[in-house]
């Protein structure tokens, strides 16, 4: 009898497309050719080129499809922390987006898969809402992670799980109102530093089937360890000789630190994908950015706004996204309704005045129009010294 099709979900934004592509490629590399798999990639805003590049990863037994979840998250308010963004919370809408599947695998994009994901799918999680691997934290009363889990989340270390790899019981997820309760927590509490992972741990407590750690082998607490033997004393982390999924959680990533323990797994898969050269280029840009920041030439994480989504605006946004020297807080245009499917969402000009930013760049080539926009911004309360006009973006 033919096995059922296995549904797997990823989530990404434009910046993470290459790494999501490597994760999917590693998954495909280890599939059983007699088994069918469906890979869904949730996104809010991706360019047509990125969607094409991801979906062309499809093979004879694996289909890859990008699904826009903008309508599912447009009214949601989430406090973002650290390196995490609202994209992380897309896993909370999976049962709404794919309600016809009784069981779904969710995978973060900062992973590589070393084994057939069908083996994970076949693990029986019973009536539990989720299947998840234990999250790693040492019992250290002075450690930030330990204190956060015990005091803020009020969860014991034995009950804490990492949400980067999940087996989701769709019916149980919906019946327990998990999505709504989690988003309520994410919009009201400012102490959920790992965002939806924290919320899921609170809401699903006691309703989780714990998976073997080989299905979520975290490198967050292995990073910087040049002697693998020193891991042996860490909770849960006896050396795993056959990690099925390596999860590169944390701020540091293998594409930025190729010399670190377990990075070689990532590069083994990356060098055989269409994203390889792009990842190498981005890694070099990171080194340059870090040098500029260290020399105080460029302030770290400066927020900017972009006015103009014509040719000049698109070129300038593309440059900023490539160099990653600052964060684009908002991109606006008078004709924003006609500017869909761009690198970032384009908003109405009115939204600019309720957004926090350090500078606003007017990316309009016509000098007269650029000057009119500058005068308009000043008349609406934006300080003159915050406005920078770009004529040759």
Complete domains list, the chain, with CATH: 6-270 (3.90.550.10), 302-390 (3.40.50.720)
The predicted pLDDT at position 342 comes to 82
| Residue 285: band (very low, low, confident or very high) from pLDDT cuts 50, 70, 90 | confident
**Looking at per-residue confidence, does 217 or 137 come out higher?**
217
User: What is the C-alpha to C-alpha distance for residues 228 and 263, in angstroms, rounded to an integer?
Assistant: 13
Least-confidence region, from 73-82, 87-96, 324-333, 355-364: 73-82
Span 253-267, mean pLDDT? Answer: 89
φ, ψ dihedrals at 43, nearest 5°: -150, 160
pLDDT at 71: 82
Give the model's confidence band at 390: pLDDT under 50 very low, under 70 low, under 90 confident, else very high.
confident
Least confident of 26-30, 173-177, 337-341: 337-341
Collapsing DSSP states into helix, strand and coil, what is residue 378? helix
Q: What would the pLDDT profile of 99-133 be if each residue is shown by its tens digit? A: 999 999 999 999 999 999 999 999 999 999 999 99
Over residues 47-65, mean pLDDT: 96
Per-residue model confidence (pLDDT) at position 73: 74
Query: Residue 122 has which token pair?
Result: 């076949």
Q: Report the SS3 class of residue 105.
A: strand
> So what's the pLDDT on residue 221?
63
Q: Which of 108, 119, 116 is nearest to 27 (CA)?
A: 116
Q: Report which of 183, 221, 222, 220 is spatially closest to residue 203, judged by C-alpha positions.
A: 183
Q: Which range is least confidently modeled, 36-40, 83-87, 155-159, 286-290? A: 83-87
Answer yes or no: is pLDDT of 297 > 80: no
* Residues above pLDDT 90, as percent of the chain: 53
What's the pLDDT score for residue 76? 63
Q: What is the pLDDT of residue 208?
A: 97
Do β-strands 387-390 and 217-218 pair in parallel, antiparallel, or remain unpaired? Answer: unpaired
Mean pLDDT, rounded, for 355-362: 91
Tokens 């269409």 sit on residue: 274
Cross-sheet strand order for the sheet of 208-210: 62-68, 37-43, 6-11, 103-107, 161-169, 130-134, 208-210
Is 234's pLDDT higher than 50?
no
The pTM for the full model equals 0.75
Q: What is the pLDDT of residue 1?
A: 28
Select the more confidently predicted residue: 184 or 268: 268
Q: What does the DSSP 8-state code read for residue 96?
A: H
Looking at residues 50-69, what average pLDDT do you find?
A: 96
Q: Which of 32-41, 77-86, 318-327 has the lowest mean pLDDT?
A: 77-86
pLDDT in tens, 178-201: 999 998 888 888 778 788 888 999
Interatomic CA distance for residues 162 and 288, integer angstroms? 33
> pLDDT (tens digit, 9 = 90+) per residue, 302-316?
789 999 998 888 888
Cβ burial, residue 237 (10 Å; 0-12/13-18/19+): middle
pLDDT at site 392 = 60
Tell me the average pLDDT of the chain: 85
pLDDT at 272: 94
Share of the chain above pLDDT 70, in %: 84
SS3 81: coil
pLDDT at 144: 65
pLDDT at 45 over 70: yes
Cα-based distances in Å from 147 to 61, 144, 156, 342: 45, 5, 10, 42
Rounded-to-integer distance, Cα 378 and Cα 72, Å: 36
pLDDT at 230: 43
pLDDT at 301: 58
β-bridge mates for residue 382, sequence order: none
pLDDT value of residue 153: 81
Q: 188: Cβ–Cβ under 8 A, 6 or more apart, which residues?
A: none
């Amino acid at each position: 009898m033919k096995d059922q099709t296995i549904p797997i979900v990823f989530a990404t934004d434009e910046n993470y497309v290459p790494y999501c592509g490597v994760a999917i490629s590693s998954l495909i590399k280890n599939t059983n050719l007699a088994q069918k798999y469906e890979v869904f990639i949730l996104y809010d805003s991706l360019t047509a080129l990125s969607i094409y590049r991801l979906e062309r990863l499809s093979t004879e037994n694996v289909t890859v499809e990008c699904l826009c979840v903008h309508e599912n998250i447009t009214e949601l308010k989430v406090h973002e922390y650290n390196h995490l963004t609202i994209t992380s919370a897309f896993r909370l809408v999976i049962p709404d987006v794919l309600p016809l599947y009784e069981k779904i695998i969710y995978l973060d994009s900062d992973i590589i898969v070393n084994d057939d994901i069908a083996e994970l799918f076949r693990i029986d999680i019973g009536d539990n809402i989720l299947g998840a691997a234990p999250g790693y934290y040492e019992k250290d009363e002075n450690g930030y992670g330990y204190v956060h889990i015990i005091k803020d989340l009020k969860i014991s270390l034995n009950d804490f799980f990492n949400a980067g790899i999940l087996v989701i019981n769709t019916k149980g997820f919906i019946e327990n109102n998990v999505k709504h309760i989690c988003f309520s927590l994410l919009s009201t509490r400012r102490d959920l530093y790992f965002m939806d992972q924290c919320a899921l741990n609170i809401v699903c407590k006691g309703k989780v089937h714990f998976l073997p750690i080989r299905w979520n082998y975290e490198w967050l607490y292995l990073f910087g360890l040049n002697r693998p033997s020193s891991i042996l004393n860490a909770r849960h982390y006896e050396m795993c000789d056959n990690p099925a999924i390596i999860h590169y959680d944390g701020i540091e990533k293998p594409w930025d630190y190729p010399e670190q323990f377990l990075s070689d797994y990532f590069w083994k898969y990356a060098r055989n994908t269409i994203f390889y050269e792009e990842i190498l280029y981005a890694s070099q840009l990171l080194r340059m950015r870090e040098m500029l920041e260290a020399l105080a030439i460029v302030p770290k994480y400066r927020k900017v706004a972009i006015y103009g989504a014509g040719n000049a605006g698109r070129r300038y946004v593309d440059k900023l996204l490539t160099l990653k020297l600052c964060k684009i807080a908002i991109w606006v245009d008078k004709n924003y309704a006609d500017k869909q499917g761009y690198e970032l969402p384009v908003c109405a000009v009115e939204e600019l005045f309720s957004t926090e930013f350090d500078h606003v760049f007017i990316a309009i080539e016509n000098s007269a129009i650029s000057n009119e926009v500058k005068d308009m911004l000043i008349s609406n309360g934006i300080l003159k010294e915050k406005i920078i006009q770009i004529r040759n973006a």
